[in-house]
Structure 1
Amino acid sequence: MKKILFFLLLTLAARPAFPQEPEHPLTFNGVPMGGPIDEFVSEMEKRGLKLSDWNLEHADWSLKYMTGDFAGFLCNLTISPMFGKTWLILVNFPEYKSWEPLQIIYEGLQKKLIDKYGEPAEVVEEFRTDRQPETDSMRMAALHADQCRYFTRFDFDRQSIELSINNYRGDSVYVNYISLRYLTSIPEIGVINDPETDTIPAAENSVRNNNQ
């Protein structure tokens, strides 16, 4: 637990942030981000999501965990507030053991995001292997060896959305899933970080711990 909290603090300190409130805040499930966390959670509960009994609380920050339907899938949500405001939402979709459903769902979500927000700021879809994998098992092997990068990022009005295919090593097995990250801006934060190192391992680790 101490290790999770340590990496969480590093992650929160390193996240890209924007010093002004956006003119049009991101909405999640029809609810604007950037407002009080308790109000946001209450609105999610009205939409059928359930708040977990296992949440991280600290004097300066907290993490809220919820489960429920999103985009037609049963998902796990991590809601990370800053200064009491809903700042970052991480959505983890169900786990899959083969590449095909991961790619199909990724491309379906990508299309929905493009239809809503327009062309993305960055798209990386590649296998960093000696030769292109030709079978499902070869693609999964590349994913497990961290030789696969699939993500799409949308940037607008000092906010971002990132869609990605991910995996981690669980208890002797690999867990493969798709995640969506929503990040809005609040004026209290003024830290900016190199986007090349902008990742969210702590939030993901916390969700894994919650699911065990």
Structure 2
Amino acid sequence: MASIATKAIAGKPILPPCFTSQKVGVVVSAGKMARAVRVRVAEHEWNKKFRKHFPAPKTYIARDPNNSVVEGDIVRITSGYRTSKVIRHVVTSIVAPFGEPVENRPPVLTQAQLDEQRIKERLLKDVRSAERGRQASIQRLALARKQGLTIPTLAEAMEGMRIHTEAEKARAEAHGGQAGQQKTAKERRLEQGKKTKAEVKAESKVKNARKQTA
């Protein structure tokens, strides 16, 4: 049986193709974020004054779905698989492992597997949107049926949404910094018991007024 990516390529694609670029870099941080690593790529920039290229390494945050890489690995990252505001790359292969052998680690997802995962996630969203009457989702589901793809049920789509919401909620509660950023400056100030300059100035005026009346 052909894979999802093969069927999509054979006919009209379910999703528009990603314009990707590949880079090779070294993993400088792993295990500190959930399914994400920092990769430093050796890049150069042109200096107009000296008319010469100078080293200008750049660090990217790349998705690592199976937590397959460790710090020190030389990996290949591919763009076009955006999952958040800062994560726009994904690890597609390990060029040179460091430390533990690759055979003892979870496998890195290939580009075909990433495309299949991307289409499955899109179809889950389309099932929920089609229930609300969104025409684009209804047309995409009809195209997927013509290509012989397995369409998830509404119950499966809602269950996936529930699991995702609970995971995001648990992550926000466990990560104090992220939960703190979601609060307004006023809420943080009230929790700490601090007063603004305007409040301190108003209190001093009231005290001075009481002294003058006394």
* TM-score > 0.5 by shorter chain: no
Compare relative contact order (CA 8 Å, sep 6+) and give the higher one, 1 or 2: 1
Q: Which has the higher helix share?
A: 2
Q: Which has the higher strand share?
A: 1
TM-score (norm 1): 0.23
The structure that has the greater radius of gyration is 2
TM-score (norm 2): 0.22
